[in-house]
């Protein structure tokens, strides 16, 4: 009997040993308690590694390369790439005021449907600073808005500084540019992103809104207290963060993006003057306390480190932690998607394992969060 078992064992293929990166993922998940994490690596603009680890839901089903996960604010980078394509085609100019694209003044767009789909632009009535806004200002988070108007004490959208004068993260600024494309140019942003980015990359499990066919392999999430949270089935396109995708799809989209549009994404647009990304309207730091080489890019944040220029973009909600880091040299990137927000402290370690030391300003991205060494 033992001889038979031994012979059968010899006939079975041996399990492939874990790569150093996969070992780093296992160690990071053990250290943070994260239930699920997927990672991809790009080199010379081509995907060289894709793997998924752990669980996709509390029922214990495995996370796979094709599991649909929430991309969160990584959506903003892909939206920016779409805007850049439109600019290259002459459909818009990055530095032209949005007023030139809208048939009527922005505050005149009012009503429940506008507010449900976008934001309450009518709150800006009487403040003509909206006429200073341009696509470049909105893509570089220099609108002057808070992150979202509904988070203001009175729930009203307002300017906190003159548009274009400084960086302050704003989802409403990105949503305003979506509105300009749809109301001013007659485009459907979800359709444009599908046509321009997702379909050419063969990304069949990616969309800007919920699709019923996602349900067969879908990631729920885990919050900071370890409690599971169901996947949010988003019913409207939101350029600030409605994207659903798999690690395999998003890696393919990203690889194609850096090959074709990387030059624009690596280019710094305006200095970042805050000590950290959030809170978004914190006072500007004294000049000597600002992060050198850190700047707002178009839908990303750019930096300069020991390997040269790079850009990064995070994505986060109560049960999601994502990170994309790309280096201009050799077009190398690491993409991390986790359906457990507890994974975020491991992102610097995983980025070093994939790319080496990048010089990314993690303390700016994550503030006072305790990061793994």
Average pLDDT score over the chain: 95
Phi, psi of 21 (to 5 degrees): -65, -45
Say what the pLDDT of residue 323 is: 99
Whether residue 104 has pLDDT greater than 70: yes
Contact 98, 183 (CB under 8 A): no
From the number of C-beta atoms within 10 Å of its C-beta (0-12, 13-18, 19+), residue 305 rates as middle
| 166-207: pLDDT as tens digits | 999 999 999 999 999 999 999 999 999 999 999 999 999 999
pLDDT digits (tens, 9 = 90+) for 80-92: 999 999 999 999 9
Which residues make up the CATH 3.40.710.10 domain(s) of the chain? 18-75+205-367
User: Residue 32: pLDDT band by 50, 70, 90 thresholds?
Assistant: very high
- pLDDT tens for 260-293 read 999 999 999 999 999 999 999 999 999 999 999 9
In the CATH scheme, what is the code of domain 18-75+205-367?
3.40.710.10
Residues composing the chain: 373
Residue 329 CB partners (closer than 8 Å, separation 6+) = 307, 308, 309
pTM (2 d.p.): 0.95
Q: How confident is the model at residue 18 (pLDDT cuts 50, 70, 90)?
A: confident
For 353-367, how does the pLDDT look when each residue is reduced to its tens digit (9 = 90+)?
999 999 999 999 999
Q: Say if residues 222 and 339 touch (Cβ distance below 8 Å).
A: yes
Backbone angles phi, psi at 176, to 5 degrees: -65, -40
- pLDDT digit string (tens) for 106-136? 999 999 999 999 999 999 999 999 999 999 9
């Amino acid at each position: 009997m033992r001889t038979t078992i031994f012979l059968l064992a010899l006939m079975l293929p041996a399990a492939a040993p874990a790569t150093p990166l996969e070992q780093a993922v296992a160690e990071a998940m053990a250290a943070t308690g994260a239930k699920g994490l997927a990672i991809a690596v790009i080199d010379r603009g081509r995907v060289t590694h894709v793997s998924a680890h752990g669980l996709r839901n509390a029922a214990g089903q495995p996370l796979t390369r094709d599991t649909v996960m929430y991309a969160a604010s990584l959506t903003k980078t892909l939206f920016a790439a779409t805007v850049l394509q439109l600019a290259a085609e002459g459909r818009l100019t990055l530095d032209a005021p949005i007023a030139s694209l809208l048939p009527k003044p922005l505050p005149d767009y009012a009503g429940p449907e506008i507010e449900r789909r976008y934001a309450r632009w009518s709150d800006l009535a009487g403040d003509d600073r909206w006429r200073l806004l341009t696509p470049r200002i909105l893509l570089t988070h220099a609108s002057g808005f808070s992150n979202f108007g509904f988070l203001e004490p009175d729930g009203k959208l307002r300017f906190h500084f003159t548009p274009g004068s400084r960086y302050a993260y704003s989802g409403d600024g990105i949503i305003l540019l979506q509105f300009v494309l749809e109301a001013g140019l007659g485009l459907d942003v979800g359709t444009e992103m599908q046509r321009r980015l997702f379909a050419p990359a063969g990304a069949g499990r990616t969309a800007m809104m919920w699709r019923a066919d996602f349900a067969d392999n879908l990631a729920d999430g885990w919050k900071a207290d370890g409690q599971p949270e169901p996947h949010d089935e988003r019913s409207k396109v939101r350029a600030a963060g409605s994207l659903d995708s798999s690690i395999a799809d998003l890696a393919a989209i990203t690889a194609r993006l850096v090959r074709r549009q990387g030059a624009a994404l690596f280019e710094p647009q305006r200095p970042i003057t805050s000590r950290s990304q959030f809170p978004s309207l914190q006072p500007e730091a004294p000049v000597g306390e600002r992060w050198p080489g850190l700047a707002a890019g178009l839908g990303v944040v750019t930096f300069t480190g020991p390997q040269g220029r790079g850009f990064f973009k995070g994505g986060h909600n109560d049960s999601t932690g994502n990170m994309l880091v790309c280096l201009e040299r050799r077009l190398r990137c690491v993409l991390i998607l986790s359906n457990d927000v507890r994974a975020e402290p491991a992102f610097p370690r995983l980025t070093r394992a994939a790319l080496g030391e990048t010089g990314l300003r993690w303390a700016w991205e994550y503030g006072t969060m305790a990061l793994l060494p």
